[in-house]
């Protein structure tokens, strides 16, 4: 039997609009694992949030993996340990936070268990409520961190255009240091250049000696594009952004609220 590997985004892809996984999608994942294939949650979310989901659905045995922070930390669910990390230097974190504040934007980073912020904002509350990871508000996030974090995120609930302008402002400084990507229209992420979902596809295929041709990736937003392009088969959800549909080999017939994800398993894995 040929072992295949599936990479899936969470929000807007595997998760429905209420942040749940449908019985149909769960059944398809069970069939994939039982057939000996590999399942990788590939998300921009921090590892703590993704682990909560994997434990909730019993995805803790062989065959289950997580690529969190857009590939910044890859984790083996059965061994409960990280396989690889790509951190962001703390001086870079300081600069991003300060520039975001000058632009009137919320920004935060992460430690191993919390979202770490210097300001207690509405954006922080909405974000942490959505991903179910607790916030800690401290005077100096960089001084608080014991290790270099995996990413920094800047948020605007008011205007995507404001975030886009901030991204353009930061691009000259980021060159040679960090990459930027939107994981949704309101979330702009700053990461180690090695932290891409596409690099995670290549790393995991090499790690398991699986040909790229036997990999499948599915997503819905800009931060999914690199994995959709890297995988042997790249799929965009019916509800995906236009930029993601443009790079995909296929588009699902149904959206994330109607088991569109399970189509990918039955058409391209099983």
Q: Give me the domains of the chain, ranges plus CATH numbers.
A: 5-86+195-268 (3.40.50.1000), 90-191 (3.30.1240.10)
Candidates 79, 105, 71; CA nearest to 204 is 71
Residue 71 has pLDDT above 90, yes or no: yes
Residue 162 CB neighbours (<10 A): 16
Task: Give the whole-number percent of the chain exceeding pLDDT 90.
Answer: 98
Number of alpha carbons in the 13 Å side-chain half-sphere of residue 93: 23
- Is residue 105 very low, low, confident or very high in pLDDT (cuts 50, 70, 90)? very high
CB-based contacts of 56, cutoff 8 Å, min separation 6: none
For the residues 232-248, what does the mean pLDDT come to? Answer: 98
Q: What is the mean pLDDT of residues 121-135?
A: 96
- What average pLDDT does this structure show over 140-155? 98
Report, as an integer, the average pLDDT of 110-132: 96
Q: How confident is the model at residue 158 (pLDDT cuts 50, 70, 90)?
A: confident
| Residue 161: pLDDT over 90 | yes
CA 237 – CA 247 distance, rounded (Å): 12
* pLDDT-based confidence at residue 160 (cuts at 50, 70, 90): very high
Q: Please state the three-class secondary structure of 63-129 as a single string.
A: CEEEEEHHHCEEEECCCCEEEEECCCCHHHHHHHHHHHHHCCCEEEEECCCCEEECCCCHHHHHHHH
Query: How does strand 250-251 pair with strand 233-236?
Result: parallel
Beta strand ranges found along the chain (DSSP E): 5-8, 38-42, 64-68, 73-76, 81-85, 106-110, 115-117, 135-137, 151-155, 179-184, 187-191, 215-219, 233-236, 250-251
Average pLDDT over residues 17-27: 97
Average of per-residue pLDDT across 93-111: 98
Q: What is the rounded CA–CA span in Å between residue 241 and residue 56?
A: 28
The whole-chain average pLDDT of the chain stands at: 97
Residue 11's closest CA among 158, 266, 183, 165?
183
Q: Residues 195, 151: contact at Cβ < 8 Å?
A: yes
Q: Span 20-24, mean pLDDT?
A: 97
Q: What is the DSSP letter of 11?
A: B
Instruction: Give the model's confidence band at 182: pLDDT under 50 very low, under 70 low, under 90 confident, else very high.
Output: very high
- Looking at residue 1, its pLDDT comes to 78
The pLDDT assigned to 159 comes to: 86
Q: Is-above-0.85 flag for pTM? A: yes
Give pLDDT, residue 249. 98
């Amino acid at each position: 039997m040929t072992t295949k590997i599936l990479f899936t985004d969470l929000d807007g892809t595997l998760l429905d609009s209420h942040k749940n996984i449908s019985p149909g999608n769960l059944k398809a994942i069970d069939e994939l694992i039982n057939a000996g294939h590999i399942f990788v949650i590939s998300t921009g979310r921090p590892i703590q949030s993704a682990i909560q989901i994997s434990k909730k659905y019993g995805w803790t045995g062989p065959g289950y993996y997580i690529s969190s922070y857009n590939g910044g930390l890859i984790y083996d669910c059965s061994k409960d340990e990280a396989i690889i990390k790509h951190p962001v230097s703390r001086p870079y974190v300081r600069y991003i936070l300060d520039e975001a504040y000058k632009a009137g934007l919320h920004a935060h980073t992460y430690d191993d268990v919390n979202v770490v912020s210097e300001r207690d904002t509405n954006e922080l509350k909405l974000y942490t409520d959505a991903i179910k990871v607790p916030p800690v508000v401290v005077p100096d996030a960089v001084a608080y961190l014991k290790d270099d974090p995996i990413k920094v995120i800047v948020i605007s609930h008011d205007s995507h255009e404001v975030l886009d302008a901030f991204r353009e402002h930061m691009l000259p400084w980021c060159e040679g240091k960090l990459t930027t990507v939107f994981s949704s229209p309101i979330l702009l992420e700053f990461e180690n250049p090695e932290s891409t979902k596409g690099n995670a596809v290549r790393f995991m295929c090499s790690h398991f000696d699986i040909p790229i041709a036997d990999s499948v990736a599915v997503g819905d937003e800009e931060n999914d594009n690199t994995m959709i392009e890297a995988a042997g088969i790249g799929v965009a959800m019916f509800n995906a952004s236009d930029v993601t549909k443009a790079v995909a080999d296929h588009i699902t017939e149904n959206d994330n609220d109607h088991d569109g994800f399970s189509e990918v398993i039955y058409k391209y894995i099983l």
